[in-house]
Amino acid sequence: MAECNHDCANCSSKCSSASPASLLAPANAGSEVKKVIGVVSGKGGVGKSLVTGLLACATARAGKKAGILDADITGPSIPRMFGVDEPIMGNDYGMLPAYSESGVGIMSINLLLENNTDPVIWRGSLIAGTVKQFWTDVCWGDVDCLYVDMPPGTGDVPLTVFQSLPVDGIIIVASPQELVGMIVEKAVNMAKMMNIPVLGIVENMAYMPCPDCGKKLYPFGEGKTAEVAAKHGLPLLAQLPINPALAAACDAGKVEDMVVYEITDAVNAVLSCPKNERE
C-alpha cells in the first residue's frame, strides 16, 4: 500500500482514515449571509415560530438585516405573522424573498402556493429537499442573521438543515410543562451530535401577568425550564409571558408592531455568537 499523503479529497483509496466529504450546500450566488441561526423545539405548539418572528424583529430594530427561512413546510405561519402574502418573484440568480414592512426577508412555502390554505401533502424527502432549495436557490442578499424556523422534532428537516446549512448556533424553544424537559434534552443531544452550538433556551408561555395587580401567575408551574437549562449548562435566555395582545398582533400580521423586551438577551446571544467553523 502506498504511503498516505493525507490528501483525502484527491485520493481514490477507501481507507478507514479517509475524511468524510462535507455535506454543506453552497449558498446562492446572490446571497451574503453572515450568520445562520436555527430555532428549534422538540415538540409542536410551544411557540417556535413566534420566537423566530420576535428574534427577527428585534434584530432589525438593532440595525441589522434579518431574514427568515421558514422550514416548517407543512405548517408555515411566518408570512401570516408578518402580513406578507405577495407571490415570490425571481431573477437570473433564483428566487427573491418577500420583505416585511421593516425589511425582514422571508421565504416560505405559503408564498409559493396558489392559496395559503392549500395543504402540502409531501413525503419527508421532498420536504427536506425544498428546505435545502430555500438556501441554495434563494437570493437572500446581504443578511446579518438568517433565522431558520424549523418544524418540531429531530426528523428529516432538522437533519437536512444541520447538515446542509452553515448553522452557527441554535436556540431551543420550550414551554414550562414537566414533559417538555425530556423533549428539550432530545434537541440538545441532537445538536451535540451534529456539532452545532446551543446558544440557550427560550421559555414561552412562562407566566401570565395578573391584569389587576401585575403579579406573575404560573399556570404551568415555575422553574422547570430553568432546571433543564442548568442541567446542560445553558443560559435561559428569555421567559416570555402569555400575552393576548401579542397573539392578536400575530393573527393580524402585525408582529412587527409589538416590542417584546424579554427577547433582548436572546438577540444579544445571537449577535455575539462566533461563526461555527465546520469541515
- pLDDT, averaged across the chain: 89
Residues 6+ apart with CB under 8 A from 219: 207, 208, 242
Report pLDDT for 13: 59
**Where residue 19 falls among pLDDT bands split at 50, 70, 90?**
very low
The predicted pLDDT at position 6 comes to 46
pLDDT at 115: 86
Distance of CA 253 to the CA centre of its chain: 19
Q: What is the pLDDT of residue 62?
A: 96
The pLDDT tens digits of the residues spanning 43-99 come to 888 899 999 999 999 999 999 999 999 999 998 999 999 999 988 999 988 999 999
Quickly state the pLDDT bin for 23 (edges 50, 70, 90). confident
Query: What is the C-alpha end-to-end distance of the chain, expressed in Å?
Result: 27
pTM: 0.90
- Tell me the per-residue pLDDT of 132-190, one tens digit each, with 9 for 90 and over: 999 999 999 999 999 999 998 878 899 999 999 999 999 999 988 766 677 888 888 89
Q: Is the pLDDT of residue 218 over 50?
A: yes
Return d(Cα 6, Cα 258) in angstroms, integer.
55
